[in-house]
């Protein structure tokens, strides 16, 4: 029986062995070629071992269905004969696919310093130009790849044609049992983790050198992942209508209230920002609060769950009319680290064209001599954060595996008390180095299933694991952090922003439920005076504001306003993306764009956040449309970057 089982699965084991060998040899060759970029000996081990993990996952995705069908079809007859021929062709095709993609990889890396990605497909839309370029500049590469491919197809067919795909001694029950076990193993292999999300590039990323992270992948996986992301890139123009590019850009610049600050050149939104603080450069810490809508904050008229944050609201510069750009954490991260406008597509954190060379304040501050850091209590590969951050200016990722101490670890990682303890320790160490630092700290305790250490707070709800209780716990941890921070050596040199990424569950009773975008935001620390700010403010205004407050004069592609500048007076506005609906909010009006429908308007009351239907003027529609289209235009053309 044992021999029969081995004989039955042998063809698939052969395929796995051959492809794994090809990919490992290719990856090793690429690593040797780029050896000067592999600084540490551990780089080699990481690339090889994690690379094999990616390879197994790639193969498992491709063969899980053929394995199931193979063991469930009749053992004999015309169907079996046809299936055997199909399997032979499939095996050769899989070997050819992986091998061909590795053959073309060196040329692609030489040109783009990346493995084949979406560009590999996008250039096929211009065959005349591309093939002309290849023929002119890469004749040797073309002939080499063509020759290697022909030889490989010939060899692969000879190998595969010798394989015995039959299993005459197995009963139907035996075949079903093998199929079940194999499919379970392949499913586990395809996911390659028992965590919340299956394997993705962020999970194996480890360096701020993007190419080293790419070497860990294989080129077939890299291309497939890019194609998957391309499917998520919704076109705002198809949803909301088109606008002349020049008109769009001029409308956005005019709405900013500082059109004289924009710089002519190839980056259309590039503008100069003069810092309002002119002293020694300060540290910057952003404490991003998970799912903390204003309705849970007592100091903003919500539930009495946040006594510590309420106290901070009275001590710092509080934004009473601050609005998130979306309803997901990655949208909040997008806003506070890049200042990018929301779009119908997924947040840029997860989109392929933004994985390197995309503007973030970390990238800008790194150029200014800052140490740039992300501190998170969970696994940083979640939502592709790690890959995005390492590719765009963050040099130091401190997540759960790197925490020096934990007292409570739930489904989403270390509790917020452990997170803040680690952050405080990091800041103390960094402050001793005499180098300014920027740190983004992202909480997670206020996330379903709302796990937190018991006995720390007096519960608001009778049942322990509820959102309200988790918010109280997270607030307790925040208060403890600031008690320590105020006594620290770094306090007088640091500006802090406490801000939520988004609200919790959002209702859809209106096209843009403004109440569910209302979030807390307060700036504290060195040189910050206590005041209440009632201006309409967007979370995408925060990066520009914080750079100004820490003394970093810069030019960047951000259109967010510096709220500390006099130029921002009287220019209140916020932008919100709710599903496929885009909202543009001003002091008294909300303009909503919906897919393939006319724009609709609402009178907005700042006091109770209520909405009343109203007509939309042409100017209001054009302003909203320009901002709704801007993000896709900048992203698609890779125009959101540093000069």
Annotated binding site for Mn(2+): 290, 501-502
Report the helix count and the strand count for the chain, using DSSP H and E: 20, 18
66 vs 12: CA distance, rounded Å = 10
Report yes or no: 443 and 474 within 8 Å, Cβ to Cβ: yes
From the candidates 57, 329, 539, 564, which is the catalytic residue?
329
329 in active site: yes
Q: Which of 568, 580, 563, 558 is nearest to 628 (CA)?
A: 580
Q: Torsion angle of alpha carbons 84, 87, 92, 97, nearest 10°?
A: 170
Residues in the chain: 643
Compute the radius of gyration of the chain from its Cα atoms. Answer: 27
Q: Give strand pairing partners of 537.
A: 322
| Burial class, 224, CB count within 10 angstroms (exposed 0-12 / middle 13-18 / buried 19+) | middle
Q: Which of 358, 390, 392 is nearest to 557 (CA)?
A: 358
98 vs 117: CA distance, rounded Å = 14
Q: DSSP string of 372-435? A: EEEEESS-TTGGGHHHHHHHTT--EEE-GGG-S--S-EETTEE-HHHHHHHHHHHHHHHHHTT-
Report yes or no: 472 and 302 within 8 Å, Cβ to Cβ: no
C-alpha 558: how far from chain center:
18
Annotated binding residues: 290, 447, 501-502
Q: Which of 61, 53, 519 is nearest to 320 (CA)?
A: 519
Report yes or no: 440 and 375 within 8 Å, Cβ to Cβ: yes
161 vs 182: CA distance, rounded Å = 23
Annotated binding residues for substrate: 447
Report yes or no: 587 and 572 within 8 Å, Cβ to Cβ: yes
Q: Which of 326, 563, 347, 551 is nearest to 338 (CA)?
A: 347
Classified as helix, coil or strand, 507 is: coil
Pairing of strands 271-273, 437-442: unpaired
299 vs 313: CA distance, rounded Å = 7
Report yes or no: 408 and 414 within 8 Å, Cβ to Cβ: yes
Q: Is 480 left (phi over 0), alpha (psi -120 to 50) or beta?
A: alpha
Catalogue the active-site residues.
Answer: 329
């Amino acid at each position: 029986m044992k021999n029969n089982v081995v004989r039955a699965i042998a063809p698939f084991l052969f395929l796995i062995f051959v492809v794994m060998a090809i990919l490992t040899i290719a990856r090793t060759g690429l690593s040797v070629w780029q050896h000067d970029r592999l600084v540490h000996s551990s780089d080699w081990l990481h690339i090889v071992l994690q690379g094999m993990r990616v390879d197994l996952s790639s193969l498992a995705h491709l063969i899980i269905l053929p394995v199931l069908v193979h063991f469930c079809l009749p053992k004999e007859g015309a169907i079996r004969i046809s299936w055997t021929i199909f399997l032979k062709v499939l095996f050769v095709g899989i070997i050819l696919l992986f091998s061909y993609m590795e053959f073309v990889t060196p040329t692609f890396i030489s040109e783009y310093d990346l493995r084949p990605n979406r560009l590999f497909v996008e250039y096929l839309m211009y065959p005349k130009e591309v093939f002309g370029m290849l023929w002119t500049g890469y004749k040797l590469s073309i002939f080499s790849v063509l020759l290697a491919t022909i030889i490989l197809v010939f060899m692969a067919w000879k190998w595969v044609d010798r394989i015995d795909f039959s299993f005459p001694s197995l009963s139907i029950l035996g075949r079903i049992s093998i199929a079940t076990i194999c499919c379970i193993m392949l499913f586990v292999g395809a996911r390659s983790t028992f965590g919340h999300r299956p394997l993705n590039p962020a999970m194996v990323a480890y360096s701020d050198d993007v190419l080293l992270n790419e070497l860990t992948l294989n080129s077939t996986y890299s291309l497939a992942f890019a194609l998957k992301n391309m499917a998520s890139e919704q076109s705002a123009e198809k949803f909301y209508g088109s606008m002349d590019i020049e008109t769009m850009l001029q409308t956005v610049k005019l709405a900013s209230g500082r059109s004289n600050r924009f710089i002519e050149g190839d980056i259309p939104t590039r503008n100069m920002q003069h810092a309002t603080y002119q002293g020694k450069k300060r540290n910057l810490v952003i404490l991003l609060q998970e799912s903390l809508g204003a309705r849970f904050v007592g100091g903003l008229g919500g539930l009495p769950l946040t006594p510590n944050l309420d106290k901070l609201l009275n001590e710092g510069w509080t934004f009473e009319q601050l609005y998130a750009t979306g309803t997901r954490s990655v949208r909040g991260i997008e806003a506070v680290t890049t200042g990018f406008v929301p779009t119908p597509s997924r947040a840029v954190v997860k989109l392929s064209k933004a994985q390197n060379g995309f503007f973030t304040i970390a990238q800008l501050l790194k150029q200014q001599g800052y140490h740039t850091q992300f501190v998170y209590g969970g696994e940083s590969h979640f939502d592709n954060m790690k890959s995005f951050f390492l590719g765009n200016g963050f040099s130091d990722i401190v997540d759960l595996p790197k925490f020096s101490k934990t007292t409570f670890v739930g489904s989403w990682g270390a509790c917020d008390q452990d997170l803040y303890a680690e952050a405080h320790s990091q800041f103390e160490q960094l402050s001793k180095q005499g180098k300014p630092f920027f740190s983004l700290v992202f909480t997670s305790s206020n996330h379903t299933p709302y796990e937190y250490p018991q006995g720390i707070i007096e519960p608001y709800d009778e049942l322990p694991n509820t959102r309200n209780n988790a918010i109280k716990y997270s607030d307790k941890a925040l208060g403890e952090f600031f008690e320590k921070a105020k006594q620290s050596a770094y306090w007088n040199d640091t500006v802090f922003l406490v801000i939520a990424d988004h609200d919790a569950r959002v209702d859809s009773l209106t096209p843009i439920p403004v109440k569910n975008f209302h979030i807390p935001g307060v700036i504290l620390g060195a040189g910050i005076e206590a005041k209440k700010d009632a201006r309409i403010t967007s979370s995408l205004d925060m990066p520009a504001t914080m750079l100004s407050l820490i003394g970093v004069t810069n030019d960047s592609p951000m259109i967010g306003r510096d709220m500390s500048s006099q130029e921002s007076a009287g220019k209140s506005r916020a932008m919100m993306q709710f599903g496929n609906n885009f909202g543009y909010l001003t002091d008294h009006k909300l303009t909503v764009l919906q897919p393939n429908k006319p724009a609709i308007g609402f009178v907005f009351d700042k006091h109770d956040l209520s909405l009343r239907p109203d007509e939309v003027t042409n100017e209001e529609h054009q302003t909203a449309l320009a901002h709704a289209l801007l993000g896709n235009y900048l992203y698609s053309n890779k125009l959101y970057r540093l000069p």
